[in-house]
């Protein structure tokens, strides 16, 4: 997920860039930490990250079967990979 977001923003998916992006997500979504979070809390966090970027026109792939550029494809072409 982080690599996709960084790619869409024009950055390389380095460990440092991923760390900065993760800190940004925690800050913007109001999480002090996700360390020790339950599975449900972590799922909500990841869902919120995806929604945040979707609202800005960036589809974050959540499955390796999903091709790049989903946001530009017709929905009828995507049902099997969503």
For 15-33, what is each residue's pLDDT tens digit? Answer: 999 999 999 999 999 998 8
Q: What is the pLDDT of residue 57?
A: 86
Q: What is the pLDDT of residue 62?
A: 81
Q: What is the pLDDT of residue 67?
A: 79
Q: What is the pLDDT of residues 30-80, one digit of tens each?
A: 998 889 989 999 999 999 999 999 899 888 888 777 877 777 778 787 777
pTM of the shown model: 0.77
Angle between helices 15-29 and 39-54 (to 10 degrees): 100
């Amino acid at each position: 997920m982080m690599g996709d977001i960084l790619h869409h923003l024009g950055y390389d998916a380095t460990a440092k860039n991923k760390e900065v992006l993760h800190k940004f997500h925690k800050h913007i979504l109001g999480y002090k930490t996700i360390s020790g979070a339950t599975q449900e809390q972590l799922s909500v966090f990841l869902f919120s990250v995806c929604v945040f970027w979707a609202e800005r026109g960036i589809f974050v792939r959540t499955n390796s079967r999903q091709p790049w550029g989903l946001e530009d494809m017709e929905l009828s072409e995507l049902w099997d990979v969503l």
